[in-house]
Homo-oligomer: A and B are copies of this chain.
Amino acid sequence: MKTSAAPLRVTVWGENRHEQRGDERVRRHYPDGMHTAIRDGIVELLGDSVTTRISLLDDPEHGLTEEILSQTDVLTWWGHMAHRDVSDEVAERVQNHVLAGMGLIVLHSGHWSKPFTRLMGTTCTLRWRNEADRELVWTVLPSHPIAEGVPHPLIIPEQEMYGEHFDIPVPDELVFVSSFSGGEIFRSGCTFRRGKGKIFYFSPGDQDYPVYHHPDVRRVIANSVEWARPAEADRQKPFLDRYETDWFLSGAPGQGVGDADAAGK
């Protein structure tokens, strides 16, 4: 059995704006910020096998410097009202780290975040209604590791409704589909591979409800963090390369050309 001596390094990213704005419901459910509840859930379930760090929108470079990202195995992302305040430069940096192998867990309203929409290539829009619908999360791929130990259905008493059509690429794996008491359905748990990185989108989790204290929601997030672990220690974005005939017989590497225009490929 492979032993993974080094703990998984998780960075929990939070927008932290509803909290600052003093929304009462957010304060009641998340007195220490939503990011803290998300982090606590991961630590509760994964213990010493992870180390965690919290980065916030208002930190310098949003807490996502090149150095921090290069020391992050899996990044979780929660943002809602301030997607625009994330700089394009940092969004591209996150995208590049995912393509180079970093795992990315996108939560709820993060569907409209810059890193996610850049990685998907679509609008990632949806239908919504915030009227405390009951959400039932059903497992449709029971042999998937993210579904391990998750009840069928996972019951969330009150939630914002997110409905189809959800404008994403067809997921590589559809793990969960939710229904809402109003009748809508939503592909609520989706995996995507992009470059060398693994992405999981999980829709439960509005700021108005205590969703990130829900033990089963925490189980899903913890499972997904483990699943998104990079395959390689080495972090390198895919790049263009020219190869001589029979290069693989001699072990000759490619002649790296990072720029097709310049190379006149």
Contacts and interface: CB of A to CB of B under 8 A. Distances in A.
Interface of A: 1-2, 4, 7-8, 46-49, 80-84, 95, 99, 101, 109, 112, 118-123, 125-131, 133-134, 136, 138-145, 147-148, 152-153, 155, 161, 163-167, 169-170, 172-174, 177-185, 187, 192-198, 226, 231-232, 237-246, 248-249, 254, 260-261, 264-265
Contacts of A140: 164-166, 187
Contacts of A264: 81
15 contacts: A1-B4, A1-B47, A81-B261, A81-B265, A83-B261, A99-B122, A122-B194, A125-B238, A127-B243, A129-B243, A129-B244, A138-B184, A141-B170, A142-B196, A179-B183
A265 B131 CA distance: 12
A177 B164 contact: yes
Contacts of A181: 183
A167 B238 contact: yes
Contact of A165 (B128, B197, B238): B238
Given A1-B47, A128-B242, 6 more contacts: A1-B4, A81-B261, A99-B122, A123-B239, A133-B245, A161-B243
Closest 5 CB pairs of A and B: A1-B49, A167-B238, A119-B121, A125-B240, A179-B179
A182 B231 contact: no
Contacts of A196: 142-143
Given A101-B143, A109-B265, A169-B192, A239 B125 contact: yes
Contacts of A170: 141, 172-174, 193
A165 B180 CA distance: 18
A231 B148 contact: yes
A123 B145 contact: no
A242 B264 CA distance: 43
Given A193-B170, A238-B165, A261-B81, A248 B155 contact: yes
A237 B167 CA distance: 10
B153 A167 contact: no
